């Protein structure tokens, strides 16, 4: 009996020992698998972070300079663009947004007469531009068009005026953000003789005058004007639908 009992105890011990070895083997395997999973997760996180950093750097390198240094066009008057002689006896302040369809209508119906009065020395036109339609409708077409107009103004007031008129002539639907595309702006600029060139194209593509355009828009927002187009003759609002601008100018004497 003793021998039999002794034999069973020895077998049980061997079985228990084998079980412990198997348990330790499985635990070791689980620890190795856990370490591998954590290593893989860490590697994925590092790669994701590196990718995000690359995208951020790439965007900063190639995106428009909306937050770049403030560079004003050579012929800007602060946040105002003036067309006409500074000594003109009357001042027409015109508030516009390049995406505004009513502004386009004003330019098509009154633009020629406004320019003629300025060219005759009877008025000077102070242009003030807003970009509120970007906020209202989404996009950045107003801001991009204004910055491109700044690139034209950097050459001359005459180039600005011609490009200003070309933008309104080619204005897309109000809900469209087509002006946000530099290629669209450059196609329109090609209609203005002598405007396109390596410097102008770079200024448009790089958004060189976007910080200035943002400043112009901020001045518009703080002006108290509630909509576009708004026209003030020597500080008094005009109803441009009530008659020709020339008549209104003559009556204002």
Predicted confidence at residue 244, as pLDDT, reads: 78
Q: Each residue of 124-182: pLDDT tens digit? A: 999 999 999 999 999 999 999 999 999 999 999 999 999 999 999 999 999 999 999 99
Assigned token pair, 186: 């450059």
Number of domains in the chain: 2
Can you say how many angstroms the Cα of residue 96 is from the centroid of all Cα atoms in its chain? Answer: 18
pLDDT of 57 over the 60 cut: no
Q: Do 88 and 49 share a structural domain? A: no
Higher pLDDT, 151 or 16: 151
| Domain at 132, CATH number | 3.40.30.10
Predicted confidence at residue 122, as pLDDT, reads: 95
Closest to 76 measured CA to CA, from 146, 165, 141: 146
Q: Do 148 and 229 share a structural domain? A: yes
Higher pLDDT, 21 or 114: 114
85 domain residue, yes or no: yes
Predicted confidence at residue 64, as pLDDT, reads: 53
Q: Which residue has the tokens 């309104």?
A: 168
Q: Each residue of 181-230: pLDDT tens digit? A: 999 999 999 999 999 999 999 999 999 999 999 999 999 999 999 999 99
Rounded to 10°, the helix 182-189/157-169 angle is: 110
Q: Do 132 and 180 share a structural domain? A: yes
Q: Which of 56-60, 110-114, 231-235 bottoms out in mean pLDDT, i.e. has the lowest?
A: 56-60
pLDDT of 59 over the 90 cut: no
Please enumerate in sequence order all residues whose Cβ is within 8 A of that of 74, keeping only pairs 6 or more positions apart, or say none.
153, 154, 155
Within 10 A of 11 (CB to CB), how many other CB atoms are there?
Answer: 10
Q: Do 190 and 163 share a structural domain? A: yes
22 domain residue, yes or no: yes
Mean pLDDT of the chain: 82
Torsion angles phi and psi, residue 237, rounded to 5: -65, 135
Q: Do 143 and 20 share a structural domain? A: no
Q: Each residue of 84-102: pLDDT tens digit? A: 999 999 999 999 999 999 9
212 domain residue, yes or no: yes
Residue-range definition of the domain harbouring residue 245: 81-251
pTM: 0.74
DSSP 109-141: HHHHHHHHHHHTTSEEEEEEE--HHHHHH-SSH
Please enumerate in sequence order all residues whose Cβ is within 8 A of that of 126, keeping only pairs 6 or more positions apart, or say none.
77, 80, 81, 82, 91, 92, 93, 94
Can you say how many angstroms the Cα of residue 186 is from the centroid of all Cα atoms in its chain? Answer: 16
């Amino acid at each position: 009996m003793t021998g039999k009992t002794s034999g069973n105890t020895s077998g049980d011990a061997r079985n228990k020992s084998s079980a412990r070895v198997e348990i330790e083997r499985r635990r070791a395997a689980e620890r190795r698998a856990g370490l591998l999973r954590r290593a893989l997760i860490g590697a994925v996180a590092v790669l994701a972070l590196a990718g995000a950093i690359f995208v951020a750097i790439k965007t900063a390198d190639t995106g428009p300079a909306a937050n770049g240094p403030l560079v004003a066009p050579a012929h800007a008057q602060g946040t105002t663009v003036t067309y006409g002689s500074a000594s003109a006896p009357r001042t027409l302040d015109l508030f516009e947004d390049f995406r505004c369809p009513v502004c386009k209508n004003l330019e098509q119906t009154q633009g020629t007469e406004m320019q003629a009065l300025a060219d005759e020395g009877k008025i000077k036109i102070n242009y003030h531009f807003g970009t509120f339609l970007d906020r209202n409708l989404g996009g950045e077409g107003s801001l991009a068009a204004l910055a491109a107009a700044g690139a034209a103004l950097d050459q001359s007031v005459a180039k600005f005026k011609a490009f200003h008129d070309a933008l309104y002539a080619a204005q897309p639907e109000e809900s469209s953000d087509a002006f946000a595309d530099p290629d669209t702006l450059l196609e329109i600029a090609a209609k203005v003789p002598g405007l396109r060139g390596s410097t102008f194209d770079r200024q448009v593509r790089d958004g060189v005058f976007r910080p200035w355009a943002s400043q112009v828009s901020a001045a518009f927002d703080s002006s108290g004007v509630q909509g576009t187009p708004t026209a003030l003759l020597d500080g008094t609002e005009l109803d441009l639908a009530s008659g020709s601008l020339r008549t209104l100018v003559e009556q204002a004497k």
